[in-house]
Structure 1
Amino acid sequence: DQDRIGIVVFADNAKYDLGSSGEYTQGAGGGAILIRHNPRLLVIPDIWGVSTMPVHDFFKPRREISRRSIVDTVLELASEAGQNLRKNLSEKIMRMIDKSDKRDHTLFESETLKVHKDTPVFDGAFSNRCYSESVKYAFINFRSKAMSAGRYNPDEDKILTDQWARIIVHLPYAFQAKRMFPDVFRHDRRNLPVWDDIESEIGPEPIRENFPEGIAGDSEFESANDGYRRMISKTDQFKQFVEERIEKTQRASSMVGNQYTGSIFLALMSALESDFNENQDMKGSRIGLCGYGSGAKAKVFEGIIQPEWKHIASRFSLFSRIDDRQPIDKSIYEALHRGSKGSSVISPSGEFA
């Protein structure tokens, strides 16, 4: 039934511990997309590149806090408040918990208190590496499927990343795309004259076989590969590539931060509204889209901009809505982060339940 219309709703909250390396990337937001036959904005052909690998680069484990830790922390707080505590009070409390009427209290009903936190455990450098590898392998998978489907002929067509007028990626922070995309950029240009020029400038890429066997060799190779990605990102060829195909996608992210689920859609809106505002003719253009989720999995696909795209993009009002935000000071921010602020910073408007 080609008259059916679906709606995809997404919302997420990217929250990190205060003082952590991920704090500056925080963001939150939500949105909704209509899915239909003959869309006015973007057609997505049925070719999907996917990649998965089992890693723990980012996760939200259930924390366990022992009874002893709870008791000691409360007593330390009491001491900081000026209370004179008896010697060995902690030991006495521990001995009496199971005899006390507090033994069934949530804090003490088990030997450990299980706690779920919204903030993750993550390794930034490792997560970036997983991102690069996953998106690269998803791109390789997409390229293979595009060739099988007759969409792409490497002997006759321009390389895919040069066919894509815009490249929309998951942005956990604004400049993730230009830092993580060198792997795909490199893979799509191997054996082309442009890659010979790049290698003459920065040297040949590291090869795993040139490093020692074993875990130590793996680590040494990965470190060298990380460095080589950074070198690619500083070449004039890659900088021009980013300026032409990626820069517009990261404008909104630099003002909003991470949205996890919604970040790829924010990047899409950022690019298309920027193109609309700059009167770019995007009708019929192909764009590449690269999604990523920690754990790790990636998906690469493409879209074709439709003739009525301006009618839709003109109604985004993305940047004007961002400009309408209200600044807050550090104390309000920390109160919101800790959940200690009991009222909204601004009066709710236009909401529904």
Structure 2
Amino acid sequence: MNENVGIDAINFSLPRLTLPIEDLAEARGLEVEKLKFGLGLKSMSVCDLDEDVVTLAADAVWKLIERECLNPKEIGRIYLGTESSVDAAKPTSTYVLDLLERKLEVNYGPRSLSHCDVVDMTFACVGAVDAFQNSLDWVSIKKDRKAIVVASDVAKYSPSSSGEYTQGAGAVSMLLSKNPRILALDSDFAVSIQSTGDFFKPRRTFKKLELLQEASNLLGLEKLTDEVVKRLESKSDGFWGTPMNIIDQFLEFPIYDGPFSNECYVSRVREALIRYENKRSQNVLDDWDGMIFHLPYAFQGRRMWPEISLDLYRKAGRLSEIEKAIGEKETEVSDKRQFIRLWSKSELFKKIIKEKIAPGEQASQRIGNMYTASIFMAFLSKISLSPEEGKNLKNKRIGFLSYGSGSKSKVFSGTIQNLFENQIHGINLFDSLNSSIKIDFKTYEDLHQRKLELPISKTSGFSLKKIGEKDLETGYRFYDIK
């Protein structure tokens, strides 16, 4: 990737509903101060009954197409990064493509995107960065190529789990081209990867007869007889009537080890950062004017950076700067964790947070975890706040530190372009957040447990109409445009 390529336009989509973090904390008996000031949480976006990863992605891409007046012939590919796929074979991006073609049909006729390559890329939260890097390379190869990358996810955790309060949802779409008007990417991406089990979404398995026996026991019925088993096996309901002895269950809720995942985050990002510095002969401590992190919760970046940056200062022979900021030498502090804590509370570190990290956190504080979209939403947050705060980001280099469980980090950078303010004017990220519909905890619980029959709010744009239940439509998703 030697050409001047990058982000030419950007847009987003968020669920219509939001749950204040105070309401969740009260219902679950959690310390709200810890959630707000320790993790940076204020609220979380919640999908209504007719919203999902497809409607969010389609809405984000449509806003991009409409705002940029794109002719579908200009779009060579639409690559989706997600870990919320709705099917194990049919790409989620094909549902998105169908909605876009239906929307474009009025002006361009049927199947106006039939030439367009689409694919899903999945690697936990870093999948959209993979799609982004792949598409940048594709754009750079040939003149006039344009690609759309969309990151879309719904982060959902089991009730009362330690991940529940970090939930969120949303999508970010980006138009990639040569001579971009928002961000020109540097050519080097650095990678660190290792197979880990810090976070995954497996298919849980259950023995069918054991499930039935347990249900019988709970109902106070007698032990199963061969006659009952044969009667069940003769049914054609797709569950009891299948010949399979094992029932597979897929849940949106992950199995995860939070502390171990933090360790993996630090290890992967640290390794990728060192490789990035070696590739570019740069020192990120001086050369980056801002840092954009993957944010499973708003303050994840600032909480991980003390340990990571300590190694960078040491590698650069600048440990004395930290010691001066702390007022103690590292050799005088017996515990490394204590030294890192002192560093994180120093005025120098707080200055780094304020200037380089905090602007990227503000949208996440109100949305929650967006999985693949979180790093790109952090970028949109930063550049959206720049005009408001009077900061001139033009020609400033921004570093991106991505992470996906399983585990992989990619570190890359780019330079903000002179026309970026024109390109984001009118996108109104924070106005959109302010217009979200607040729901109470009971409504959130009903949505989370899929107890509702109708959406809470009025639908406009793309919506999930139904999921097929019979024959060849079983599990197929049907969408409306309103």
TM-score by length of 2: 0.62
1:288-303, aligned counterparts within 5 Å?
288-303=399-414
1:175-194, aligned counterparts within 5 Å?
175-190=299-314, 191-192=317-318, 193-194=320-321
Aligned partners of 2:213, 2:380: CA distance in 1, in Å? Answer: 50
Aligned partners of 1:247, 1:14: CA distance in 2, in Å? Answer: 22
Corresponding position: 1:138 with 2:138: no
Pick the aligned partner of 2:290 from 157, 160, 166.
Answer: 166
- 2:348 alignment partner AA: Q
Aligned partners of 1:22, 1:189: CA distance in 2, in Å? Answer: 32
Closer/same/farther in 2, CA of residues 349 and 200 from structure 1, 3 Å limit: same
Identity %: 34
Closer/same/farther in 2, CA of residues 202 and 346 from structure 1, 3 Å limit: farther
Pick the aligned partner of 2:384 from 255, 269, 273.
Answer: 273
Corresponding position: 1:37 with 2:178: yes
Structure 1 match to 2:194: 53
More deviation, 191-200/12-21: 191-200
- 2:298 alignment partner AA: A
Aligned partners of 1:142, 1:205: CA distance in 2, in Å? Answer: 32
- 2:442 alignment partner AA: S
Q: How many Å apart are 1:47 and its aligned residue?
A: 1.0
Q: Is the 8 A contact 2:330 2:339 kept in 1?
A: no
- 2:187 alignment partner AA: D
Pick the aligned partner of 1:235 from 346, 361, 364.
Answer: 346
More deviation, 258-267/238-247: 238-247
Q: How many Å apart are 1:315 and its aligned residue?
A: 2.8
Aligned partners of 2:213, 2:327: CA distance in 1, in Å? Answer: 61
SS state at 2:260 partner? helix
Closer/same/farther in 2, CA of residues 202 and 61 from structure 1, 3 Å limit: farther
Structure 2 match to 1:304: 415
Structure 1 match to 2:261: 127
Q: Is the 8 A contact 1:60 1:120 kept in 2?
A: yes
Number of equivalences: 317
- 2:354 alignment partner AA: E
Structure 1 match to 2:147: 6
Please list the CA deviations of residues 128-156 of structure 1 after superposition, one character each: whole Å capped at 9, or x if unmatched: 11001111111001001002xxxx3xxxx
Q: How many Å apart are 1:203 and its aligned residue?
A: 3.4
SS state at 1:343 partner? coil
Aligned partners of 2:429, 2:306: CA distance in 1, in Å? Answer: 28
- 1:201 alignment partner AA: E
Please list the CA deviations of residues 183-230 of structure 1 after superposition, one character each: whole Å capped at 9, or x if unmatched: 3311221121303325753734999xxxxxxxxxxxxxxxx7666544
Structure 2 match to 1:156: none
Aligned partners of 2:163, 2:333: CA distance in 1, in Å? Answer: 29
Q: How many Å apart are 1:335 and its aligned residue?
A: 1.4
Aligned partners of 2:294, 2:393: CA distance in 1, in Å? Answer: 21
Aligned partners of 1:47, 1:66: CA distance in 2, in Å? Answer: 49
Q: Tell which structure's C-alpha radius of gyration is larger.
A: 1
Structure 2 match to 1:264: 375
Question: Which ranges of 4 or more aligned residues in structure 1 deviate by more than 6 Å?
Answer: none
Q: How many Å apart are 1:231 and its aligned residue?
A: 4.1
- 1:161 alignment partner AA: L
More deviation, 113-122/97-106: 97-106
SS state at 1:263 partner? helix
Closer/same/farther in 2, CA of residues 199 and 161 from structure 1, 3 Å limit: same
Closer/same/farther in 2, CA of residues 229 and 23 from structure 1, 3 Å limit: farther
Q: Is the 8 A contact 1:252 1:267 kept in 2?
A: yes
SS state at 1:294 partner? coil
Q: Is the 8 A contact 1:179 1:230 kept in 2?
A: no
Q: Is the 8 A contact 2:323 2:329 kept in 1?
A: no
Please list the CA deviations of residues 91-125 of structure 1 after superposition, one character each: whole Å capped at 9, or x if unmatched: 335x4454224455514643321101111000001
Closer/same/farther in 2, CA of residues 202 and 114 from structure 1, 3 Å limit: farther
Structure 2 match to 1:251: 362
SS state at 1:100 partner? helix
Aligned partners of 1:227, 1:113: CA distance in 2, in Å? Answer: 49
Q: How many Å apart are 1:266 and its aligned residue?
A: 0.6
Structure 1 match to 2:328: 201
- 2:304 alignment partner AA: M
More deviation, 126-135/340-349: 340-349
Aligned partners of 2:329, 2:438: CA distance in 1, in Å? Answer: 44
- 1:196 alignment partner AA: E
SS state at 2:382 partner? helix
Aligned partners of 1:135, 1:345: CA distance in 2, in Å? Answer: 40
Corresponding position: 1:92 with 2:219: no
TM-score by length of 1: 0.83
Aligned partners of 2:229, 2:329: CA distance in 1, in Å? Answer: 67
Corresponding position: 1:336 with 2:457: no
- 2:453 alignment partner AA: G
More deviation, 4-13/190-199: 190-199
